[in-house]
Amino acid sequence: MNFKRGELFLKKLIIIAGPSGAGKTTISDYLEEKYQIPRVLTHTTRAIRPGENKEAYYFETEESFSKLHLFESVKYGSYQYGSSREGLEKAWETSDIVSIIVDTAGVKSYVEKLQPNQFYFIYLKVSNLDTLEERLVERGDEPTEILKRINSREFKRDLQLREGLKKYAHILINDNLEETQRKIDKIITKLRKN
Ligand SMILES: Nc1nc2c(ncn2[C@@H]2O[C@H](COP(=O)(O)OP(=O)(O)O)[C@@H](O)[C@H]2O)c(=O)[nH]1
Ligand SMILES: Nc1ncnc2c1ncn2[C@@H]1O[C@H](COP(=O)(O)OP(=O)(O)O)[C@@H](O)[C@H]1O
């Protein structure tokens, strides 16, 4: 927390969720490139994907993951994912607004712990569900990983927003990237004023 122009200025977390292929990483990268809004790095036991940025995660083994002190963690498909309070605080030291990508279970943990004016929750979706699989293929994901992912309970769950989270969500339909970016621009202008 710090003071800006005489007012109490709260650090803010932009929480990004949505099914695989909805565009979470693309939007978080846009926030970083255009607005210098860094992403809180999270941990995973999944292997790096072909063409994926090696800075996308802290890539862990089952053993190294088990030794982490995590604020929240989930099993998503066959892999573990989790984030730490230190990761968030470290990112907040460098920027008043930061983003994090989590599944909907992770969203629940964050909205329960933060004050409503400390987070802005963006839930990304697409109009046509077939688009998601097509984007994973285009992204270059391994076919077996795509199959495992789209058949997972968590992927199916995150196609919809659970009832308790709807009241917090700003839903963006990411069919057209330029349109989504314009919507993000408006959101950031608003967040920077508050
Ligand atoms: N709860 C939680 N979910 C995470 C975390 N890191 C990533 N995830 C979620 O794990 C899911 C799978 O991520 P990933 O394997 O990168 O696949 P992608 O959604 O296709 O990019 C996504 O829904 C992410 O939002 C974390 O630290 N905590
Ligand atoms: N609006 C869009 N139109 C077309 N392709 C998109 C759009 N948004 C993202 N993509 C592409 O779809 C793929 C999945 O996006 P990504 O950001 O990795 O999704 P997620 O992180 O939600 O799994 C990437 O190859 C990305 O470049």
> pLDDT tens digit string along 12-51?
999 999 999 999 999 999 999 999 999 999 999 999 999 9
C-alpha to C-alpha distance for 169 and 164, rounded to whole angstroms: 10
Q: How many other CB atoms are there within 10 angstroms of residue 97's CB atom?
A: 20
Q: Higher confidence at residue 193 or residue 77?
A: 77
Name which residue sits closest to atom 7 of ligand 1, judged by CA. 102
Supply the ipTM of this predicted assembly: 0.99
CATH architecture of 7-40+95-193: 3-Layer(aba) Sandwich (3.40)
**Distance from the alpha carbon of residue 52 to the mean position of ligand 1, in angstroms:** 14
Whether the CB of 42 sits within 6 Å of ligand 1:
yes
Cα distances (Å, whole numbers) of residue 28 to 15, 35, 101: 10, 10, 8
Q: What is the pLDDT of residue 10?
A: 80
Q: Is 74 in the pocket of ligand 1 (CB under 6 A)?
A: yes
Residues 60, 67: Cα–Cα separation, whole Å: 10
Counting ligand 1 atoms within 8 A of each CB, the residue from 103, 104, 126, 141 with the most, and so the one to mutate, is 103
- Whether residue 145 has its Cβ less than 6 Å from ligand 1: no
Residue 85 CA, ligand 1 centroid: distance in Å: 17
